[in-house]
Structure 1
Amino acid sequence: MSLLPLDDLPGPLPRPLPAPVRSPSASAARLAGRVLSLLPLLLIGAWAAVDWHAVSDGAARLASADPRWLLTGVFFTCLGWVAAACVRQGAIPERLPPGPLLASQFAAGAANHVLPASIGAHAVTLRFLQRRGIPLARATASLALYSLIKPIAKTLVLLVFLVAFPDLLRLGELVPDERTLLLAAGSVTIGLAAPALLMAVVRPLRRPILAFVRTALTDVRLLHSRPSRVLALWGGAAVAPVLQASVIASVGASLGLPLSWAQVVFAFLAASTAVGAVPAPGGIGPVDAALVFTMVTLGAPMDLATATVIGYRVLTVWLPLLPGALVLSALLHRKVL
């Protein structure tokens, strides 16, 4: 076997391929993903440092509570995430995977308690829907439907309790005065008139707003033609506030609160309906004050009502906050969000 001379070789020898060079945009995207994964934990740490007194006080009071009733409250808290996932599924025509959907709502709870007006929960859900291939317009329409159905369903449940338990509730002291009613009417009027005024003044916004409205109306008609979606949407929205109130009732029972389950449910429905529109993180603050006032009006001692609300926040906010943030970081890392 003879070797060919160098001049007879078919071409130049192949050179080794250069090592792949990472582009600055890819490195920046990777860094941004890591920052987003750690951001929930950083926000929780900052919030805990500011509100540490409430956490320590609530934990000290719960240490002497009946653990069986506290476990019941944890059970109702977990059912609340299931109800939220049902409402999210009912607001979108496409079928969503149950496991990732439930995980996203658990993570959305952590984001919801950090940012006001449910912005965090909506942002997590919007990202989840887009990752499932749902267009932005339809995903945004589902969030709008979710936000619209929840207060309507809560008001209907409140009316049912007013009819079912007329003798148990002292309604006279809870009826809002004329100033409060005028303020609520003005807020509703402004909320309805602002989009119409914005469309009339800013012409470039007319087309996207009208397209969004058409998409939303189309999805609403489609969803309400499917019984399974109607049950998930309206049933989940009606059950969710009752489950939240059941957590309060369980904590109250563990502390010896002298109110019945129906009275606690009504107190929560009335308080959250009255001041639920105030943009506080997770409704914390205004809803708590209104809830304490309502329970005191119904006959509960001030100290027990305050301890019950603190315990409720410990079970629904602080206990699942760190696990929810870890799940949020994991979903971001696995590109589920």
Structure 2
Amino acid sequence: MGNPSLPPGNAVAAAWWRRLPWRTIACLVPALAVGLWAAEHRSLLVSGGEDLLAADRFWLLGALAATGLGWVAIACARQGTVLEPLPTGRLLATQFAATAANQLTPAGIGAGAVNLRFLRGCGLPLGRTSAALALYSLAESVGRVTLLLVLVTAFPHALRLNGLLPDGDALLFIGAVLAGGLLLVTLFLLSARRVRRFIRVFLATALTDARSLHLRPSRALALWGGSLAFPALQALSLVAVTHALGITVSAPHVAIAYLAATCLAAGIPAPGGVGSVDAALAIALVAAGAPTAAATSAVLAYRIVTVWLPLLPAALTLGALVRRKVV
């Protein structure tokens, strides 16, 4: 018998709705989103693919290897954010799957959501999973900036910025806008009692966990080693791509260009950094000494190797993890 409170037609519709394989449908969503994304960017894919066909295969394999090791570095850093041992295989698969989620959402929200669900599935409470995500973001940012400062100190003339940066008035305007935005956020936080209470509890949890993690040398090494290794491997991948295309810019200068571009573009909430990172990276490569056309080709090829080529396998992995209730 159906629900007597529902008319017969509504009861049939409700039963049909419940029988739909929602988890299977959810598994197909990432792959469908990737297909739509690829169709929208097909001209860029074709242009970059033509450059890769003429590139040196040895260096391209090196770029792929560095990209793959980057997921291992992320997995190590993620393990370093929690005291509990995480299942290694599922942790690594989750970081690979987060690649797809990250490219379809702005400001890394997709990767954060995938890792949040993964940690929750491992039995961690919401407060500690949020603290773990915040600690990873902080450590990765510190690692990236640290590498940039070390390389800039060692190679102070790597970037020729004459004519590439905005003039003084433009920089002053940008600074005023950022300061105004920061002031508005601060006033909002100070005026909202519930928000202040949430922030106090969150900071207390985050500081307690961070203190406990740094008392465990293995966790501290995983956190900071992975946070330094990931941007270094991404920079190494770009170095390999520039060598594959025959661009005559020294490896340290290319690495500085990558780190500077990603640091500058980090605050622009574009999905996967598409557009913001690409533009900043092209400008940085030109500042490092690459011709404009070669810099554009290198950015497209780098995107294909590190993002577009793994995108469909990552989306399928994400679907499989959703189906198995890992995330």
- Give your verdict on TM over 0.5: yes
Shift in Å, 1:199: 3.9
Match of 2:266 in 1: 276
1:68 to 58, 64, 79: 58
Equivalent pairs, count:
315
Q: Does 1:180 align with 2:180?
A: no
Match of 2:285 in 1: 295
Instruction: Point out the structure with max Rg over C-alpha.
Output: 1
Greater shift, 68-77 or 172-181, is seen at: 172-181
Flag the 1:225–1:278 CA change in 2: closer, same or farther, 3 A: same
Q: Does 1:56 align with 2:13?
A: no
Match of 2:156 in 1: 166
Q: Which amino acid aligns with 2:99?
A: G
Tell me how far apart the structure 1 counterparts of residues 157 and 300 of structure 2 sit (CA, whole Å): 28
Shift in Å, 1:79: 0.7
Secondary structure of 1:235's partner?
helix
Flag the 1:203–1:166 CA change in 2: closer, same or farther, 3 A: closer
Q: Does 1:247 align with 2:237?
A: yes
Tell me how far apart the structure 2 counterparts of residues 136 and 98 of structure 1 sit (CA, whole Å): 21
The question of whether the paired residues in 1 share the 8 Å contact of 2:257 and 2:285 is answered with: yes
Q: Which amino acid aligns with 2:143?
A: A
Greater shift, 278-287 or 177-186, is seen at: 177-186
Match of 2:9 in 1: none
Tell me how far apart the structure 2 counterparts of residues 313 and 169 of structure 1 sit (CA, whole Å): 22
Instruction: Give the unaligned 5+ runs of structure 2.
Output: 1-13
Match of 2:221 in 1: 231
Match of 1:141 in 2: 131
Tell me how far apart the structure 2 counterparts of residues 76 and 175 of structure 1 sit (CA, whole Å): 31
Q: Does 1:87 align with 2:91?
A: no
Flag the 1:252–1:37 CA change in 2: closer, same or farther, 3 A: same
TM-score (norm 1): 0.86
TM-score (norm 2): 0.89
Flag the 1:329–1:92 CA change in 2: closer, same or farther, 3 A: same
Match of 2:303 in 1: 313
Match of 2:112 in 1: 122
Tell me how far apart the structure 2 counterparts of residues 181 and 145 of structure 1 sit (CA, whole Å): 32
The question of whether the paired residues in 2 share the 8 Å contact of 1:173 and 1:297 is answered with: no
Greater shift, 104-113 or 173-182, is seen at: 173-182
Shift in Å, 1:301: 1.2
Secondary structure of 1:290's partner?
helix
Flag the 1:191–1:239 CA change in 2: closer, same or farther, 3 A: farther
The question of whether the paired residues in 1 share the 8 Å contact of 2:164 and 2:283 is answered with: no
2:102 to 91, 112, 130: 112
Identity rate of aligned residues, in percent?
Answer: 48
Match of 1:6 in 2: none
Match of 1:103 in 2: 93
Output the aligned Cα RMSD: 2.4
Instruction: Give the unaligned 5+ runs of structure 1.
Output: 1-23
